[in-house]
Structure 1
Amino acid sequence: MDLWLLFLLVTSLLVVSFTHWVYRWRNPKCNGKLPPGSLGLPLIGETIQFLIPSKSIDMPPFIKKRKMKYGRLFKTNLVGRPVVVSLDPDFNYYVLQQEGKLVELWYMDSFGKLLNSDVTGTATGYIHKYLRNLVLNHFGPEALKANVISQLEETIDRKLQVWSKLPEFEVKKNSASMIFDITARMMFGYESEKSGENIGESFTDFLQGIISFPLDIPGTPYHNCKKNQKKALKLITDLLNERRDNPEIRKGDFLEQIVEEMKTHDFMTDEFCIFVMFGLLLASFETISATLVLAIKYLSENPSVVELLEEEHEAILKNRENPDSGLTWNDYKSSMTYTHYVMKESLRLASVAPGILRRVVQDIHVDGYVIPKGWTLMVVPSAIQMNPDTYEDPLTFNPSRWKNIGANTTAKNFIPFGGGARTCAGAEFSKLLMGVFLHLLVTKYRWEKIRGGEVGRSPALGFGKGFYIKLSAKQG
C-alpha cells in the first residue's frame, strides 16, 4: 500500500510539474501584453509548420496564414525560441536602425553553428564597422569602379562560352559555382581550374540546409551543409596559412589585407578571420545565384522584356568609341536604366533570405504590445516585398513598375540586402555582377527553357526540380 501511495504521489507531482511547465511555455513572462499568436507545441513550437514547403513565389503560407489571422505583428516559436514576426514596414525600418540599442544581430541555431556565431557574433560596434570598411575596400563602389568590372566581364564571358557548348545545363548549380569562383578569387585568389575539386558546386542550395533543424545525421540537409562547410573552411585555412608562410606573395586581395590586419588587432584571430571569410562567401553566392536564376526564368517567359533589354544593351555597344573595349562603370550606372528595373524586380520577387533576425536587448513597445527582452524579432522580406498595398499585382514580374517607385517607398518596402547598420556591404557588387551577366547574356546569346523552373519556398526560395536551359550563341 505504501508503495502504491508513493507511486501516486510521484505521478501527481510529475503531472503537476508538466502542467505547470506547459502553462509557463504558453504564457511566458512579459511586462505588458504580448502580440497575438501561438507558441505551438512545447520544445518544437511551430517549427514544423514554418518549414513546410510551398509551390509559390508568394510569401510562405506559414506567414500568410498568420498575417490574415493576427495582423502584421504576431508571436510564434521556432526551434524552441520565442519569436515575434513583424510584417510592418514602418516598424521594421525603425527597429533595424536601432542596432546596438533595441536589438542586436542573431542567427538561428543551425546558421549560428555553421558561422560559429560564438566567435563572429562578437562583431558589434567598432569591430563591425571595422570589418564593414574592410569589405567595402574590396567590394564597395570605388573598388568596383577601379578594376572589378573588367574581371567580372572576363570571367562571366568565359563561363557563358562553356555553357553554350552544352546540350543543356542546370542554371542554379552552375551560376552558384560561377559566383563562388568569382567571389573566392577576389577574396583570396582561389582558382577552381587549379583545384582538385570544384568546391563551388558543393554549395548549391546551401541555404536550404541552413534553415533546417540542426541535426547532424547523415542524409539530413544540415549534415550536408556541415560537410560542405568543412571543405570551405579547409580551403580558407590552407590559403591563410600559405599566405602567412609566404609573405612575398602579393595579390592585393581581401586575404592579403586580412593577414596584415591580423598583425595589429588582437580580435583578428585565425578562427575569427576564417569564419568571417566563410560568411562573406556564403552571403554572396547563394543570394546572387538564386536571383539570377529567377531573372532568367522570368525573362524566358517574357520575350517583350528581353527585347527591351536587348535594345538597351545594343545601344551601349553602338555608343562605344572602341568596339573592342569592355563595359565601363558609366555604362553600368548611366546606360542600364531598364536593366536596373529588371534587377530590382528580380530581387523583389526572389526575397532569398526567409527572414532577417534580431535579438531584442530591451523591451520594445509597439501598437500596445510588448516584445520582451531576450526574444527574437523576425522581419520577413517576402512579406514586405509582396505586399499588394505597395506593389500592384505583386506576384507578376513587371520591371516597368519601377519607373514610378521612388526612394521613399523603397527605403521601407524593398529590403533585399537587409537594413540599418547591417545592410549588406556587398550590395553594389551583387548588383554589378547581375548587370554584367545580363549584358553579356542578351548581347551574345539566345536561350530556351528545356525543363524545370518550378519555384517555391521552404521557406527559402528554391527550384525543386532545377531549371535547365539551352544556351546558343547569336549569329553575326
Structure 2
Amino acid sequence: MEKIETFVGGMIILFSAVVSYFLMRRDKREGKQKSAKLPLPPGSMGWPYIGESLQLYSQDPNLFFFSKQKRYGEIFKTHILGCACVMLTSPEAARFVLVTKAHLFKPTYPKCKENLIGPSALFFHQGEYHLRLRKLVQCSLSPDSIRNIVQGIEDIVASILDSWAAQKDTVINTFDEMKKLSFDVGILSIFGQLEAHYKEKLKKNYCIVTKGYNSFPTMIPGTTYKNAFLARKRLSKILSEIISERKEKKLGGKDLLGSLLNSKDEKGEILTDDQIADNMIGVLFAAQDTTASIMTWTLKYLHDDPKLLELVKAEQKAVYELNNGGTRPLSWSQTRNHMPTTNKVVLESLRMASIISFTFREAVADVEYKGYLIPKGWKVMPLFRNIHHNPEFFKDPQKFDPSRFEVAPKPNTFVPFGSGLHACPGNELAKLEILVMIHHLVTKFRWEVVGSQSGIQYGPFPIPLHGLPARFWKESSS
C-alpha cells in the first residue's frame, strides 16, 4: 500500500508540475502585458514545471527565504508548490497585506486541508460570516473567559508531568507529549468538562486526522489521507452527539461550544451543527501543534541556558510559596503580574522559534506595492521569520535573549500570532498554557535532553530534532 501511495503521490506531483508549468506561462504572459505600466517584483521563477520547489525543500526553508531577501530585497517573486508567489519581508509590507489592504488579499489553504478541518471554519472565510465567527471565538478565548480555566489547565499539566516522571528511565518525545497536553487544554476551552468517553473518541480520531493534513490527497483506501478523511467523518458524528446532548440539557457555558450554540445573527438564524463542528475542529487545528511546538522550544532554550533557568526557577518558586507550597492553585493575576522574567522567556521563544514562519494570502485583484505589480491570483506570503530575525529590529537575532523584551519591539516587527482580522484569536490561551506548564515544571521537576541538542525538523512546523528526546523526574527524588 505504501508503494501504491508513493506512486500515486508521484503522479500527483507530476500532474501538478505540468499544470503549474502552463499556469506559470500564462502568469508570465499576463504579467508581461500588465508590466507595461508596472514591473513584477524582482526574483526568479525557477525551472519549468517545478519552479523553485526543489530549492526550497532541499535545504532549511529559512535559508531559501533569507538568501532570496539578501539578493532581491524586501519584496521578490518565486514559484513554489505550483503557485506564482510574491514574498514580503518587511513589517510595512506585512501590515499592508494583513491589515491596511487586507480586503485585497484573501486567506488561502489547500482544498484537501479544508476538507479535513471543515469548510465552515472561520479562517477559510472573509466578510460577515468570518467577522461573526471570529467574534464568538475571540469571546470564548478572551482573558475574561480563560481566567476561569486556570485551575483546569493546572490539573492537565500536573497530570501529564506526573506521567513523565513515572517513566524516569524512559526517554520521551517531548513534542509528542506536548501535543497531548495541548489537545486536552483545547478540549477544555471548547467543551469545558467533557465526559471521558467522548474525550477518548475525539482524541483517537483527531490523531488520525492530523496525520492527513500534510499527506498526498488521494482517496485510495488505506492511504493516510483516506484514513484521515474517514476519521473526520467519525469526528462529525461524535461532535453531533455532544451538540445534541448540550441542546437537550439546555446547558449554557462560557466555553466555545456554548458561545456557538447561543449565537444568532441579525436575522435570528442560528449556526448549523456542521458549522459548529467545523469551527471546533478549526480551533483544535490552530492550537495543538503550534502551542506544542513553542512549549517544546521553550524547554530546550531553558535547558540550554542554566543561568536563565535558575532565574526562572527563582521567580516561579516565589509564586509557589505565595500559594502555600503549591497547595493553592495558580491565579490569573499571578500569571500576569508575578512572572515578568518567565513572560519574557515566552516572548523570546516565540520570536526565536517563529513557529508560523509565514502565512498564505491570495491577491483578489491586481495590487500595486512600492511600484511593483502583484497580479490577481498570485499567492502573497508575508515572511514572519525573516522579520523576527532581522538584525535591524532585533540585535544579534540568533541569540536567545529574553531581556530584549524589556523594551517593547518596534511596531509590526513582532507578530508571532499574525496580524489583522485573521490573527490568531487564541494567543492569550496559548501564553497561559505555556506559563502554567513552566511553573509546574521548574518548581517540581528536572529534565535532561538526550542525544543531539541541535538541529531542526519540519512537520510542517519547526521543532527540535526528533521532537527533543528527554528524561524527566521529580526534583525531590534527584
TM-score where L is the length of structure 2: 0.83
Give the one of 361, 373, 378 matched to 1:375.
378
Q: Look up the match of 1:159.
A: 160
Q: Look up the match of 1:14.
A: none
Q: Look up the match of 2:419.
A: 419
Q: Look up the match of 1:362.
A: 365
Cα distance change of structure 1 residues 196 and 115 upon mapping to structure 2, 3 Å threshold: closer
Asked if 2 retains the 8 angstrom alpha-carbon contact of 1:174 and 1:201, the reply is no
Asked if 2 retains the 8 angstrom alpha-carbon contact of 1:177 and 1:204, the reply is no
Q: Where do residues 337-416 of structure 1 align in structure 2 (5 Å cutoff)?
A: 337-403=340-406, 405-407=407-409, 409=410, 411-416=411-416
> What SS does the corresponding residue of 2:466 show, helix, strand or coil?
coil
Q: Single out whichever of 393-402 and 218-227 deviates more from structure 2.
A: 218-227
- Once the two structures are TM-superposed, the CA of residue 470 in structure 1 deviates from its matched residue by 1.4
Give the one of 45, 55, 66 matched to 1:39.
45
Distance in 2 (CA, whole Å) between partners of 1:251 and 1:443 is 33
1:313 aligns with 2:319: no
Distance in 2 (CA, whole Å) between partners of 1:348 and 1:177 is 24
> What SS does the corresponding residue of 1:462 show, helix, strand or coil?
strand
Asked if 2 retains the 8 angstrom alpha-carbon contact of 1:87 and 1:380, the reply is yes
- Once the two structures are TM-superposed, the CA of residue 173 in structure 1 deviates from its matched residue by 0.8
Distance in 2 (CA, whole Å) between partners of 1:299 and 1:205 is 32
Q: Aligned AA for 1:304?
A: K
> What SS does the corresponding residue of 1:101 show, helix, strand or coil?
helix
Q: Look up the match of 1:70.
A: 72
Give the one of 135, 139, 142 matched to 2:141.
139
Cα distance change of structure 1 residues 45 and 323 upon mapping to structure 2, 3 Å threshold: closer
Question: Structure 1: which 5+ residue stretches go unaligned?
Answer: 1-17
> What SS does the corresponding residue of 2:43 show, helix, strand or coil?
coil
- Once the two structures are TM-superposed, the CA of residue 211 in structure 1 deviates from its matched residue by 5.1
Q: Look up the match of 2:431.
A: 431
Q: Look up the match of 1:299.
A: 302
1:290 aligns with 2:296: no
Q: Single out whichever of 104-113 and 385-394 deviates more from structure 2.
A: 104-113
Query: Percent of pairs identical after alignment?
Result: 28
Distance in 1 (CA, whole Å) between partners of 2:396 and 2:102 is 37
Q: Look up the match of 2:471.
A: 470
Asked if 2 retains the 8 angstrom alpha-carbon contact of 1:75 and 1:84, the reply is yes
Distance in 1 (CA, whole Å) between partners of 2:422 and 2:240 is 26
Distance in 1 (CA, whole Å) between partners of 2:159 and 2:475 is 15
Asked if 2 retains the 8 angstrom alpha-carbon contact of 1:49 and 1:62, the reply is yes
Distance in 2 (CA, whole Å) between partners of 1:185 and 1:394 is 36
- Once the two structures are TM-superposed, the CA of residue 266 in structure 1 deviates from its matched residue by 4.2
Asked if 2 retains the 8 angstrom alpha-carbon contact of 1:342 and 1:399, the reply is yes
Asked if 2 retains the 8 angstrom alpha-carbon contact of 1:357 and 1:376, the reply is yes
Asked if 1 retains the 8 angstrom alpha-carbon contact of 2:355 and 2:461, the reply is yes
Cα distance change of structure 1 residues 255 and 116 upon mapping to structure 2, 3 Å threshold: closer
Asked if 2 retains the 8 angstrom alpha-carbon contact of 1:105 and 1:359, the reply is yes
What CA deviation, in whole Å up to 9, does each residue of 1:133-160 have, x standing for no partner?
2123321011122x11111112211221
> What SS does the corresponding residue of 1:456 show, helix, strand or coil?
strand
CA RMSD of aligned residues (A): 3.2
> What SS does the corresponding residue of 1:35 show, helix, strand or coil?
coil
1:90 aligns with 2:92: yes
Q: Single out whichever of 117-126 and 70-79 deviates more from structure 2.
A: 117-126
